[in-house]
Each structure stands twice: as structure tokens, then as C-alpha cells.
Amino acid sequence: MASPKLTPLGIAVLELLHEKPLHPYEMATLMRERYVDTRVNVKAGSLYHTVERLHRSGFIEVVDTQRDGRRPERTVYGMTQAGLDEFNRRGRELLGDVATEFPAYLSGLAVIDELGREAALNELETRLMRLRASVAADQAVLQRLTEDKVPEIYWLDWRYQCDHRKFELEWTERLLDDLRSGRIPFVDDGQPKLTLITREDDDERKTS
């Protein structure tokens, strides 16, 4: 039976085990310190479940057990050769493939007219406020990474997220301005909502 495909959290676990064997509590701590939780959903329950699944699949193995006073015994895991092989295979796939993603913001943009002018503008203003706060926080982290001289190759994922948030902020600012000025008008109530381009139209264009 084929091994299950590595999830983003599974990739993150094996990424840490490249450095040294760890127990799950250390994994969770390092993921928070290194902002891995900004690209992967890191929750205690899901992390332990992922570790167990990696172990069942033969991608990691128990290399030690530790006990600190009265605390529960901690199991330390290391990566197997099978885990390294799968990590490299899945890593190449994630880096090279262009996957279709479905950001929730797209669904919000699709219903702007149905929400109406006042509600849509208010929600976009709220989004901009949150985006500005996020971008400001991003810049503080980037400055600290630069000052600490952390090799940039280790935070390319963070830089991508920062640039993406900055782009979304600038794009949304332009959208809000276009909606307020009327350059992109809301459709008057009572007018039919028309689908201007359908999948059939698109397919016909490609074959013509």
C-alpha cells in the first residue's frame, strides 16, 4: 500500500528533523520561534497526530526517550532514510508544481455587489486596517531577521508571505478607491446579474 502524501505539517516536522532528533514539544516550540505557524496550521493535537502518522509510515523512528523529574516521558524521533526520500520527493513537487488554490478573499470579492455598497466598503476598510497592521508587523520581523544576519535562504517562505500581504494591501487600497469613486460602479438593484464569461465561452475561445 502506498504511503500517504506528506502534508504541509508533515513537511515541517521532517524539515526540523534534518537538524537533529526532537520530541514533539520541542518541534512545537521551534515552529513558533521560527514562524512556521504562519504557513502551517500548528496545533498540539494535529502535530501529535502528524508525528504518529509519520511514525506509522516509517518516515520517522524512535531514537530516544527522556524523562525530566515527574514530567511524562518524552519520545524523541529521528528521520529515517525513507522519510528523507519522501521529504525530497514531496519538496520537489511542492516547489515545482503550480497548484490551484482557493483563497477565501476571492469568494468575498465575488459577492461585493450582492452585499451592497455600504456593507462592502465597510468590510474592505476593516480588511485594510488589518492588512496594514500585518504589514507593519512583517517589517519588524524582517528587520530583526536582517539584523540577526539569519541567512535569507532560511526565510524565503516568510519573505514570500510578506510580499503577498503587501501586494494584497496595495491591491485592496486601489479597489476601495475605485469603488468609492465610481470607476467600478455597483449595479443598481433590480438589474439582472449577468455572467459575462462562462466556462463554455472560455472553452469555445480556446478551440476557435
Q: 137-151 pLDDT, tens per residue?
A: 999 988 988 898 988
Mean pLDDT of all residues in 16-20: 94
Query: Is 125's pLDDT higher than 50?
Result: yes
How far apart CA 34 and CA 15 sit, in angstroms, is 12
Angle at 156 between CA 153 and CA 23, to 5 degrees: 80
Contact 145, 155 (CB under 8 A): yes
Mean pLDDT of all residues in 100-110: 91
Query: Is 199's pLDDT higher than 80?
Result: no
Pairing of strands 74-79, 60-66: antiparallel
Q: 81-97 pLDDT, tens per residue?
A: 999 999 999 999 989 98
Q: 140-181 pLDDT, tens per residue?
A: 988 988 898 988 888 898 899 999 999 999 999 999 999 999
* Surface-to-core class of residue 121, CB atoms within 10 Å of its CB (0-12 exposed, 13-18 middle, 19+ buried): middle
User: DSSP string spanning 81-133?
Assistant: HHHHHHHHHHHHHHHH-------HHHHHHHTHHHH-HHHHHHHHHHHHHHHHH
At what angle are helices 24-33 and 8-17 packed, to 10 degrees? 100
**Which residue's entry shows cell 528533523?**
17
**Which residue's entry shows cell 511514525?**
55
What pLDDT is stored for residue 1 in this prediction? 47
Query: Is 201's pLDDT higher than 70?
Result: no
* Surface-to-core class of residue 111, CB atoms within 10 Å of its CB (0-12 exposed, 13-18 middle, 19+ buried): exposed
Average pLDDT, the chain: 87
What pLDDT is stored for residue 43 in this prediction? 83
pTM, whole model, 2 decimals? 0.76
